[in-house]
Amino acid sequence: YMIENAMVSGLCAAGMDVFLLGPIPTPAVAMLVRSLRADIGVMISASHNPYYDNGIKLFGPDGYKLSDEI
């Protein structure tokens, strides 16, 4: 949970409101970003890889995943 704590701390320090949703499927993040009218959604997941290969997926306000180049 170190990545989660670091992200939450940084986003809160930048003045953002953060909702921690716990373990949920990635598509749920996309749906919730739209339904909650959030500015961004963040998913921390290793997908099918081992837990130490965690990655971060960002979703825009339209619920679509942002490009990996961002």
Residue 43 φ/ψ, nearest 5 degrees: -120, 125
Active site residue 9: no
**What distance in Å separates the CA atoms of residue 32 and residue 41, rounded to the nearest whole number?**
8
DSSP 8-state symbol, 30: H
Structure tokens at 43: 């998913």
Residues 35, 45, 47, 67: which is the catalytic one? 47
Residues serving a catalytic function are 47
